[in-house]
Amino acid sequence: MSFELWLAFAAASAVMLAIPGPTVLIVVSYALGHGRRSAMATVAGVALGDFTAMTASMLGLGVLLSTSAALFTGLKWAGAAYLVYLGVKLWRAPVTAGTEQAGEPDVSPLRMLLHTYAVTALNPKSIVFFVAFLPQFLDTARPLAGQMVAMEATFLVLATLNATLYALAASAARKAVRTPSVQRAVNRTGGSLLIGAGLLTAAWKKAA
């Protein structure tokens, strides 16, 4: 894999990752609700979820999803239902006044990690996307295994950095949203976006 081809892949991946999607929404939601302490867990969940999706793609699951309507539909509905569930929970989350610890429900880092992992990995669009996206940057004149490993490592590093930046930015902005009315608006906006993402996932159809 030439440096120019790798650079093109890295640039395209960075642009794609920067566009907010369900993964970014859940990372930001946790950061707004729990501050910087959520960052390590949610970023780890993003990295593991993307690793799962990319590895599954490279092992052929993406090809199977693109040909099996039943499997694709099942995974699509599971991911959509989970996004809607998280959106409803965020919409109904209690708001607090004063210090960030007062009355705020405790969520363990493991729970945050698993939620973020599920949102990232249970997305059939991600797997199908990787199947369609990665081959564009493969040099068929060279061994493919090493190129795929390099692309997966590059994407995971970029995804981790992207999630970290979103988490830190949201946690920094958290101090400005401590009033109950602003918290409620943030929770309901984030919840609505997650529910919308779930509905869009359910409505999305594979390309023929």
What pLDDT does 66 receive?
Answer: 60
Which DSSP category does 86 fall into?
Answer: H
For 22-45, what is each residue's pLDDT tens digit? 788 888 888 877 777 788 899 999
pLDDT value at 98 more than 50: no
Residue 200: what residue type?
A: L
Sort residue 110 into left (φ over 0), alpha (ψ -120 to 50) or beta.
alpha
What pLDDT does 137 receive?
Answer: 73
Cα separation, 110 vs 119, whole angstroms: 14
pLDDT value at 99 more than 50: no
Q: What ranges do the domains of the chain cover?
A: 3-203
Contact by Cβ (8 Å): 20, 192: no
Cα separation, 144 vs 27, whole angstroms: 33
Contact by Cβ (8 Å): 194, 87: yes
Going from the C-alpha of 17 to that of each of 12, 88, 158, 175, the distances in angstroms are 9, 25, 8, 26
Residue 38: what residue type?
A: S
Q: Is 200 helix (H, G, I), strand (E, B) or coil?
A: helix
Rounded to an integer, the average pLDDT of 184-201 is: 71
For 125-182, what is each residue's pLDDT tens digit? 667 667 666 766 777 677 877 888 888 899 899 999 999 998 888 888 776 666 666 6
Sort residue 40 into left (φ over 0), alpha (ψ -120 to 50) or beta.
alpha
Cα separation, 4 vs 31, whole angstroms: 36
Nearest to 90 by CA among 110, 75, 112, 74: 112
Does the pTM of the predicted model rise above 0.85? no
- State the chain's mean pLDDT as an integer: 75
What pLDDT does 107 receive?
Answer: 75
* Run of H or E including 32: helix 22-34
